[in-house]
Structure 1
Amino acid sequence: MTRWPVLVLYQAGRAMARSLALELAGHIAYTALLAIFPFLIFLAALSGFLGSGAESLATVEDAVNLLPGDVARTLLPVIREVLTSRDSGLLTLGLLGALWVASNCIDALRIALNSAYGFDEPRPWWRVKLSSLGAIVIGAVVFLVLSVVVVLGPVIWDGLLWLLPLSDSDHWAFGALRYGVAAVVLLGGLLALHCWLPGRRLALEALLPGVLVTALLWLGAASLFSFYVANLGNYTATYGSLGGVIITLVFFYISAVLFIFGAEVNAALLRRQGRMGRKKPVSG
């Protein structure tokens, strides 16, 4: 009985090997690289309209700094340039185009989840696309809410200092609490993708194991990838000035593989419980 978690992980890995999961991960990585800057254009326009541009920039920078160093160094200069732009043209057709391009990454995630869970897509294409566009808008709003949290965090701490005799150790605990909230938001985002995107709805308790597996493996993979790039990998010698872009694309690919693996873990658990049929392997 105690071996069943290992068996579930093995079954999830075997299901990935027998499907097009790795090819789909490459598609997700490519669309993510294409989508990240259009998403930031949309975020810059929205934050500029709401008057919270500096706060949203701080939030995005905090999020990017969680990535491996070389990936962050590649993305941050362009992110700062995009998010500090105040071109009024971003609020016209260019913004709609950016929103459409950014939604392609959500479409890729949906395809991967439907494949992992063995679901068909019963909804018409326009409803699917609207849900992808809605996911981008909701994601931008979440970023703006997080930006408010980033700004209000020190204000809240100063208020607590005025009310209570707190020490430096309490300040450390308060900072840990803020990062804990960020981790909960990350898990909530993954859970929302698994819940909202596939062609069928699954119970939250059925989705949580794979989401936790993805989050834990992603944290470990980010650390290992940073160590590899810093000590073993030499992408600049191979790709020249494109080394930073290639590093970013490889990391997106690894993240996509772990995202799909989490879905496969959920599917393996559901099959083990008799709540899902066996998935047919892809031949060819």
Structure 2
Amino acid sequence: MAVAALNGLRERGETNRPLSEETGLPARPSIWSMLWRLVDRISRDNLSLVAAGVAFYAMLAIFPALGVFVSLFGLVADPKTVEAQILTLSAFLPSEAIQILLGALHGVVEKNTSRLNTGLVIGLAIALFSARTGMSSLMTGLNIAYDRQEARGILHQQVVALALTLGGMVFGIVSILAIAAVPAVLAVLPVPDDIRTPLLLIRWPFLAAITMLGFTIIYYAAPCHRVRWTSTIIGSVMATVLWLIGSVLFSAYVTRIATYDATYGSLGAVVVLLLWLWLTALALLIGAEINTLHHDRDGDVPPTKPLASPQR
């Protein structure tokens, strides 16, 4: 019965995997075969183009998102602390991107510092609704990577996008507080230098772990596709690794080789930030493709549906 069902999947073009003679189930492909299939899926799904669309909408969402982020952060700490922590990310973010974020951040802090608690709910609701466009576009991209057509209602989609956007900001606040807390605590406590340095370095594995957890939640909740938590881990790990390595290499490239300012003039910083957002979106989408291949490799082959159409 299992063989007949799997043959039916093959006839509909939903799997091309040969059956194992011993178990009658699809044979596990080799690592090289998986890598080749990943490259094929990236090309077939036009992930580079999809990531560009996600990056564009994420760019539009950054500034309202910063408003929400600073307002929420101001409830638990000094919003100006955010500036110092953004500067600590210079190894991962190009300096041009950092300058754009800091410029927007200064405007938000100056505008909201005196009234972080006044009209907070209304202001947050408006800014959060504007910021959700970036997450909505990512949801569409993940549906493409998972070969799923959007079947949720418009209200359901917007609720998920808003929840994930707000959740991402909460993750950001927790990360910044944790990263900022370690040096502050070490400055007060009489900690020996041989212990101080490892404790300071722990911040970066923590940032990677928080990023991986955030990616896992996105893979679980964003696409129109029910998956197990455990089935998203491999893609989350690989997406985090790709994002960290790609960000470091891109930052080094922009700092030492590229001349975007000479080419694009005053728009150079905007171009750099947009490229970094594209890199981030591409890493997330590749992670989703890896999850899809991992499902297939383990014999969990859900029915394939037409590609998702972009949300409007």
* Largest Rg, 1 or 2: 2
Q: Which residue of 2 aligns with 1:36?
A: 62
2:145/2:285 contact within 8 Å kept: yes
Deviation sequence 1:84-120 (CA, Å, 0-9, x none): 4326487365543321121011111111111111223
1:250, 1:51 → 2: CA distance? 31
Percent identity, aligned pairs only?
Answer: 26
* C-alpha spacing 1:223/1:146, structure 2 compared with 1 (3 Å): closer
C-alpha distance in 1, partners of 2:295/2:28?
A: 18
User: Which residue in the other structure is 2:125 paired with?
Assistant: 96
Q: CA RMSD in A?
A: 2.8
- Counterpart for residue 217 of structure 1: 242
When normalised by structure 2's length, the TM-score is 0.78
The structure in which a higher percent of residues are helix is 1
Given that 1:187 and 1:212 are in contact with CA atoms closer than 8 Å, whether structure 2 keeps it comes out as yes
Is 1:203 matched with 2:228? yes
Could you say which residue in structure 1 is the equivalent of 2:282?
257
Q: Deviations over 1:115-155 (max 9, x none)?
A: 11122333221121112111222222223333432443245
User: Is contact 2:94–2:272 with CA below 8 Å preserved after alignment?
Assistant: no
**Which residue pairs with 1:74 in the alignment?**
100
Q: Judge conservation of contact 1:55–1:150 (CA < 8 Å) in 2.
A: no
1:175 to 185, 200, 218: 200
What is the deviation of 1:272? Answer: 2.2
1:9–1:72: structure 2 CA closer, same or farther, 3 Å change rule? farther
Of the three residues 268, 271, 276, the one matched with 2:293 is 268
Question: What is the TM-score normalised by the length of structure 1?
Answer: 0.85
How far 1:14 moved relative to its partner?
Answer: 0.8
Distance (whole Å) between structure 2 residues aligned to residue 280 and residue 131 of structure 1: 21
> Conserved in 2, the CA contact under 8 Å of 1:58 and 1:147?
no
Post-superposition shift, 1:56?
A: 4.2
Ranges in structure 1 where 5+ consecutive residues have no aligned partner: none
The alignment covers a number of residue pairs equal to: 278
CA separation of 1:130 and 1:217: change in aligned 2, threshold 3 A? same
Match 2:175 to one of 146, 149, 162? 146
For 1:143 and 1:119, the matched residues in 2 are separated by 29
Alignment match of 1:116 (pick from 145, 166, 170): 145
1:20 and 1:244 map into 2 onto residues whose CA distance is 26
Task: Indicate conservation of the 8 Å contact 2:171/2:214, yes or no.
Answer: no
Could you list the per-position Cα deviations for residues 168-190 of structure 1 after superposition, in whole angstroms to 9, with x for gaps in the alignment? 12101111222222221111111
Q: How does 1:55-70 map to 2 (within 5 A)?
A: 55-63=81-89, 66-70=92-96
Matches of 2:256 and 2:183, distance apart in 1: 37
**Matched residue type, 1:203:** R
Q: Which has the higher mean CA deviation after the structures are superposed, 53-62 or 206-215?
A: 53-62
Greater RCO, CA 8 A, separation 6+: 1
Aligned AA for 2:126?
A: G
CA distance in structure 1 between the aligned counterparts of 2:189 and 2:124, rounded to whole angstroms? 41
State yes or no: 1:22 paired with 2:36. no
Q: Secondary structure at the match of 1:129?
A: helix
Among 94, 99, 107, the residue aligned to 2:136 = 107
Asked whether the 8 Å contact 1:64–1:76 carries over to 2, the reply is no
Instruction: List 4+ stretches of structure 1 deviating above 6 A.
Output: none
Q: Deviations over 1:47-89 (max 9, x none)?
A: 3344542344444444566312332233222223323432648
